[in-house]
C-alpha cells in the first residue's frame, strides 16, 4: 500500500467549511452572532440557519476531543466534578471540556450559548445532559423539543401535529426572542430546498457501495461524509457543492473499479460488512486499520444514519416545511424501535450483499447498545448471516482494548473465510 494519500477536492472543501464555522464561532462575541447549543439526532439546522444563528453540537465537541487524544483528561475532570463512571462519555467529555476552558478544535475558545435547544430524539441522556448545561450556563433560555418515540414502528399524524405545535409555540418564539428576528418563511424554504438536494446526493453516495468493489467505506469514511450534515451545514449551498463534488469523485472510483481510500492508500476488498453501533474515536485510525488490513469494507452502517434515514425515502418538503422538520426528527436511527432496527440491518445485509454483520457495543451508549444482542440473534437466525461482536467506547480511552478487539476481529474474519470456502465447495458440488 502507498503511504502517501493525496487529498481529494471534497476533503479540502469540507476542511474549509469546518474551519470557517469555528472561526465564526470564535468571533461570535465580536460579531454579535447568536449561538445555539443543540444535538445531532433530530437537529433543526434549517431553523437555526433561517435565524442566522450558529450551532454548537456537544457530541461533535466530544468526538473531536477523542480524536485529538484530549477526551481522557476531560472525562477525568468531569468525574472529579461528580459524574459517575457509568455516565455517557460524550457527556463527561463535553462537561470536562467546558470546565477546562471550552477550547474548540481550532484551539480557540467556543462561545457560551445564547440558547439551549434540547431536541430529545431517542436518547434519554440528552435531557440529563442539558440539565447540567443549564447549571453551567445559568439564565440561558432553553427550548425543549420532545420527539415521540416510534414505538409502533410508524409516524402518525398525531405525532407530527404534536411536534409541529412544539416547533411553532416553543422553539420558534425562543429563537425569535434570542435572535431579535422574526422567522422569514421564504428564507426557511430556500434553506429546505438545499436540504432536499443534499439528501438526494447523500443517498446516491452511500448507494454506490452496492458496487463490487465498493468505492467507499460506509463506516470509517462514512463518518467524514456525514460530517457536514451533522455539524450545521445541512441546508447550505456549501454543503450542496461539497456533496456534488464528493459524488463526482466516488462515481469516478466506480467507473474505474477502485476500492475505498484508507489512511494508507487504496484497499483491496475481501469482505463486505454491515456494522451496527458508533465507532471508537480515541483510537479511530488504529481501529480502522484492523479492518482494512483484512480487506474488510463496511458497505452499510447504522451510525451514519444517526442524522437521518434518507435512504428509506424521507426528504424535507418546502410544501410542508414544519411538518417535514418534525418528521425528520422522528426519522433518526436512534428513534427507531428494535423491530425497525432489525429490519433495517436485514435490508442492508441483503441490499449490499454483505458477508457478515459486526456489532460494536459501546459501553456508555444505551441508545445503541440496548437490544443489540437480541438484534444479533434474530438476524443470525433469520438470514443465517455470520455475526461478530466487539466492545469499546465512544471517547473514553480506558475502554479501548486493542488486543481484545483484534483477537475478536481476527476470529470473525477467519470465520468468514472458512464460510466462503464451504459455500464455494457446495456450489462446486451442485
Report the C-alpha gap between 364 and 296 in whole angstroms. Answer: 26
Report the C-alpha gap between 368 and 333 in whole angstroms. Answer: 9
CATH of domain 9-183: 3.40.50.11890
All three cell numbers of 16, joined, read: 474549509
pTM (two decimals)? 0.93
Residue labelled with grid coordinates 434553506: 191
pLDDT at residue 162, rounded to an integer: 97
Residue 158 CB partners (closer than 8 Å, separation 6+): none
Domains 9-183 and 189-429 share a fold: yes
pLDDT at residue 425, rounded to an integer: 65
pLDDT at residue 133, rounded to an integer: 87
pLDDT digits (tens, 9 = 90+) for 151-187: 888 999 999 999 999 999 999 999 999 999 999 999 9
- Residue 29: CB atoms within 10 Å: 12
Residue labelled with grid coordinates 399524524: 157
Domain layout of the chain by residue ranges: 9-183, 189-429
Q: Do residues 299 and 273 touch, judged by C-beta distance below 8 A?
A: yes
Low-confidence ranges of the chain (pLDDT < 50): 1-4
Using CA atoms in the order 347, 147, 39, 227, what is the torsion angle rounded to 10 degrees? 30
Report the C-alpha gap between 37 and 39 in whole angstroms. Answer: 7
pLDDT at residue 8, rounded to an integer: 79
Give the right CATH number for 189-429 from 3.40.718.10, 3.40.50.11900, 1.10.260.40, 1.10.10.60: 3.40.50.11900
Report the C-alpha gap between 313 and 311 in whole angstroms. Answer: 5
Amino acid at each position: 500500500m502507498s503511504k502517501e494519500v493525496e487529498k481529494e477536492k471534497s476533503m479540502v472543501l469540507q476542511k474549509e467549511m469546518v474551519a470557517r464555522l469555528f472561526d465564526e464561532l470564535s468571533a461570535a462575541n465580536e460579531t454579535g452572532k447568536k449561538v445555539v447549543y443543540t444535538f445531532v439526532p433530530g437537529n433543526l439546522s434549517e431553523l437555526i440557519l433561517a435565524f442566522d444563528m450558529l450551532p454548537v453540537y456537544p457530541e461533535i465537541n466530544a468526538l473531536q476531543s477523542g480524536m485529538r487524544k484530549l477526551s481522557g483528561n476531560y472525562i477525568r475532570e468531569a468525574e472529579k466534578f461528580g459524574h459517575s463512571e457509568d455516565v455517557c462519555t460524550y457527556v463527561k467529555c463535553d462537561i470536562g471540556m467546558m470546565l477546562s476552558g471550552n477550547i474548540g478544535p481550532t484551539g480557540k475558545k467556543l462561545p457560551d450559548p445564547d440558547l439551549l435547544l434540547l431536541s430529545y430524539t431517542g436518547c434519554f441522556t440528552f435531557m440529563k445532559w442539558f440539565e447540567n448545561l443549564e447549571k453551567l450556563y445559568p439564565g440561558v433560555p432553553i427550548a425543549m423539543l420532545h420527539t415521540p418515540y416510534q414505538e409502533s414502528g410508524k409516524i402518525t399524524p398525531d405525532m407530527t401535529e404534536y411536534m409541529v405545535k412544539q416547533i411553532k409555540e416553543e422553539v420558534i418564539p425562543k429563537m425569535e426572542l434570542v435572535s431579535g428576528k422574526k422567522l422569514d418563511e421564504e428564507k426557511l424554504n430556500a434553506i429546505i430546498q438545499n436540504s432536499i438536494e443534499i439528501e438526494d446526493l447523500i443517498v446516491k453516495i452511500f448507494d454506490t457501495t452496492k458496487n463490487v468493489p465498493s468505492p467507499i467505506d460506509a463506516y470509517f469514511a462514512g463518518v467524514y461524509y456525514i460530517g457536514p450534515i451533522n455539524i450545521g451545514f445541512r441546508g447550505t449551498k456549501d454543503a450542496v457543492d461539497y456533496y456534488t463534488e464528493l459524488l463526482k469523485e466516488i462515481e469516478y472510483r466506480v467507473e474505474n473499479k477502485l476500492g475505498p481510500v484508507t489512511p494508507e492508500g487504496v484497499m483491496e476488498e475481501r469482505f463486505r460488512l454491515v456494522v451496527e453501533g458508533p465507532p471508537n474515536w480515541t483510537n479511530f485510525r488504529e481501529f480502522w486499520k484492523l479492518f482494512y488490513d483484512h480487506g474488510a469494507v463496511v458497505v452499510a452502517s447504522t451510525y451514519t444514519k444517526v442524522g437521518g434515514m434518507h435512504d428509506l425515502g424521507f426528504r424535507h418538503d418546502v410544501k410542508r416545511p414544519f411538518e417535514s422538520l418534525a418528521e425528520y426528527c422522528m426519522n433518526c436511527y436512534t428513534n427507531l424501535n428494535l423491530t425497525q432496527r432489525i429490519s433495517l440491518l436485514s435490508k442492508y445485509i441483503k441490499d449490499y450483499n454483505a458477508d457478515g454483520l459486526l456489532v460494536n457495543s459501546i459501553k456508555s451508549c444505551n441508545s445503541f447498545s440496548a437490544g443489540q444482542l437480541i438484534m444479533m440473534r434474530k438476524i443470525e437466525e433469520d438470514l443465517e448471516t455470520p455475526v461478530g461482536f466487539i466492545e469499546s467506547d465512544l471517547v473514553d480511552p480506558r475502554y479501548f482494548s486493542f488486543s481484545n478487539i483484534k483477537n475478536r476481529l481476527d476470529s470473525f474474519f477467519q470465520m468468514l473465510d472458512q464460510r466462503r470456502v464451504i459455500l464455494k465447495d457446495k456450489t462446486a458440488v451442485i
